[in-house]
């Protein structure tokens, strides 16, 4: 039986249109969206009454196009699904990219940060509630090699320290939903800082160990503030495949370090 997904409050059409324009001319998804989008983001964007934002970024399962995923999400009841070309924002400012790496920009800033909470640099505790088939620990170890932010693996029994940001990584069988990984981030009203982030991994698509590994690395990279990388030498390449790297590349690391 599939695990029920959370439903987000819908955003009014006028507000959605304004927000989509601010996010770089993102367009509401429809069955007419072309199937040939290169490096396109599939997102659900919700603005809360207090001005805070919830963004859900989905990674297509192997063989699923962005347009197909957007249609599946819309049909399943996910609100406010949009397809955004990867360079709609990042092409406009050099600060949003480093070589092949791109940030996951908000409508207010190129790079959404984590607060330091009194530490010399932000500390992220990845609380791993995924099954053993997902190599989350190895992905955390790789990201912790990046300067400027600490990525620490935590077993469920260990919990998270109050001085760190706690990011839960959960896996379950979400069925043939069209997505293999999802990162959900909550932003402050200014849309400049993360307030909470969670990662979901779909056990329905877990037959290929290499793809599982690079998907774990991929979603954790989104947590740290990165968007999609245009090179298969990075686990942040938009689409999962056996020829995509299981690791971040040097551009990913340099882009994070630039902002911290």
Residue 241, pLDDT score: 86
Residue 92, pLDDT score: 53
Residue 154, pLDDT score: 98
Residue 95, pLDDT score: 79
Q: Is 6 domain-assigned? A: no
Q: Is 81 domain-assigned? A: yes
Q: Is 1 domain-assigned? A: no
Q: Is 8 domain-assigned? A: no
Q: Is 152 domain-assigned? A: yes
For 119-155, write each residue's pLDDT tens digit: 999 999 999 999 999 999 999 999 999 999 999 999 9
Q: Is 189 domain-assigned? A: yes
For 220-232, write each residue's pLDDT tens digit: 999 999 999 999 9
**What residues make up the domain containing 20?**
13-259
**The pTM is what?**
0.85
Q: Enumerate residues 6+ apart whose C-beta is below 8 A from 94.
A: none
Residue 86, pLDDT score: 58
pLDDT profile of the chain (260 residues), mean per 10 = 36 36 43 46 96 97 94 97 72 79 93 97 98 96 98 97 98 97 98 98 89 96 96 94 94 97
Closest CA to 54 of 45, 63, 62: 45
Q: Domain with 128 in it: what CATH number?
A: 3.40.390
Q: Is 5 domain-assigned? A: no
- Residue pair 101/254 in contact (Cβ under 8 Å)? The answer is yes
Number of independent structural domains in the chain? 1
Q: Phi, psi at residue 251, to the nearest 5°?
A: -70, -40
215 membership: H or E segment, kind and range:
helix 209-223
């Amino acid at each position: 039986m599939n695990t029920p997904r959370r439903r987000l409050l819908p955003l009014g059409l006028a507000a959605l249109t304004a927000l989509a324009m601010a996010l770089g001319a993102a367009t509401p998804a429809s069955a007419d969206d072309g199937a040939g989008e290169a490096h396109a983001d599939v997102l659900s964007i919700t603005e809360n009454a207090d001005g805070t934002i919830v963004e859900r970024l989905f990674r297509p399962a192997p063989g699923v196009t962005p347009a197909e995923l957007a249609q599946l999400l819309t049909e399943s009841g996910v609100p406010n699904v949009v397809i955004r070309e990867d360079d709609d924002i990042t092409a406009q400012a050099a600060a949003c990219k480093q070589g092949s790496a791109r940030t996951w920009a908000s409508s207010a800033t190129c790079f959404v940060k984590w607060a330091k909470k009194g530490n010399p640099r932000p500390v992220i505790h990845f609380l791993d509630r995924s099954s053993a088939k997902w190599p989350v620990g190895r992905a955390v170890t790789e990201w912790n090699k990046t300067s400027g932010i600490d990525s620490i693996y935590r077993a469920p029994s260990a919990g998270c320290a109050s001085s760190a940001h706690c990011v839960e990584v959960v896996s379950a069988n979400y069925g043939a939903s069209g997505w293999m990984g999802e990162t959900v981030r909550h932003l402050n009203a200014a849309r400049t800082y993360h307030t909470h982030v969670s990662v979901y991994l779909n056990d329905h698509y877990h037959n290929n160990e290499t793809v599982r590994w690079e998907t774990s690395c991929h979603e954790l990279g989104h947590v740290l503030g990165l968007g999609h990388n245009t090179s298969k030498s990075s686990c942040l390449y938009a689409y999962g495949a056996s020829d995509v790297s299981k690791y971040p590349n040097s551009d990913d690391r340099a882009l994070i370090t630039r902002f911290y």
